[in-house]
């Protein structure tokens, strides 16, 4: 399918719209004039380079899936205006630090953010302000620095940092006390790159550090009671 079917824009009661895995290159502006009750919108795996400005009218939207679209020049400001958004997936959408708006920190209800497979050399500053996050995936980027991480995400349960270029993890990681799954595999971490005190993560169930430069198991990892 290369075009959005006619008539969908008149379905004002529509709650879920899944147009993923097509060959769409554009979304008609009028689609979001009437469909303001949408709660889930999945546009992943298409050829979209931009989205209509009227997307911001979807004030009830809770889940927005945009992954695997060439959205390099789309600034995301309309997305940042959707205040009730809980899930935002932007995997492989050519995200860089300069095309993630500072307004993203307005998404105070966001619990699931996927920025994997992009061109980020660090986690964008607005992301550190999303204190409701429970799941964050920034795998398969080029991240080298996590120094801004302190106790920014008190509710975070899942953190995927795999396939980046990390040499060390910050001590702030040990303050993510609700963390259950931590993926740091396929980086450049050695023994000194694992912070002392990681054993304080009492709820941690998955700790994946494969394919790094570790020669032995950090002593603090032996204190991870839930593993």
What phi-psi label fits residue 186: left (phi over 0), alpha (psi between -120 and 50 degrees) or beta? Answer: left
Structural domain boundaries in the chain: 1-122+131-139, 144-227
CATH, domain range 1-122+131-139: 3.80.10.10
Q: Read off the pLDDT of residues 137-170 as tens digits, 9 standing for 90 and up.
A: 999 999 999 988 888 999 999 999 999 999 999 9
CATH, domain range 144-227: 3.80.10.10
Q: Which two tokens stand for residue 21?
A: 């895995």
Q: Read off the pLDDT of residues 68-121 as tens digits, 9 standing for 90 and up.
A: 999 999 989 999 999 999 999 999 999 999 999 999 999 999 999 999 999 999
Whether this prediction's pTM lies above 0.85 is answered by yes
Question: Is residue 56 within 8 Å of residue 33, measured between CB atoms?
Answer: no
């Amino acid at each position: 399918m290369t075009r959005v079917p006619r008539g969908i824009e008149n379905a004002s009661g529509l709650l879920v719209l899944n147009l993923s895995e097509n060959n769409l290159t554009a979304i008609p502006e009028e689609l979001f004039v009437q469909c303001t009750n949408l709660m889930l919108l999945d546009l992943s795996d298409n050829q979209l380079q931009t989205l209509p400005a009227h997307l911001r009218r979807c004030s009830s939207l809770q889940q927005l899936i945009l992954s695997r679209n060439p959205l390099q020049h789309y600034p995301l400001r309309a997305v940042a205006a959707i205040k009730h958004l809980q899930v935002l997936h932007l995997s492989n959408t050519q995200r860089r630090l300069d095309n993630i708006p500072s307004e993203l920190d307005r998404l105070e209800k966001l619990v699931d953010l996927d920025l994997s497979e992009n061109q980020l050399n660090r986690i964008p500053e607005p992301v550190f302000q999303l204190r409701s996050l429970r799941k964050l995936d920034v795998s398969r980027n080029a991240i080298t620095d996590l120094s801004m991480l302190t106790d920014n995400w008190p509710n975070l349960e899942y953190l995927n940092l795999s396939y980046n270029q990390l040499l060390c993890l910050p001590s702030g990681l040990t303050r993510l006390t609700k963390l259950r799954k931590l993926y740091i595999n396929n980086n450049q971490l050695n023994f000194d790159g694992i912070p002392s005190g990681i054993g304080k993560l009492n709820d941690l169930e998955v700790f994946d550090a494969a394919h790094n430069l570790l020669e032995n198991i950090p002593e603090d990892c032996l204190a991870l009671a839930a593993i």
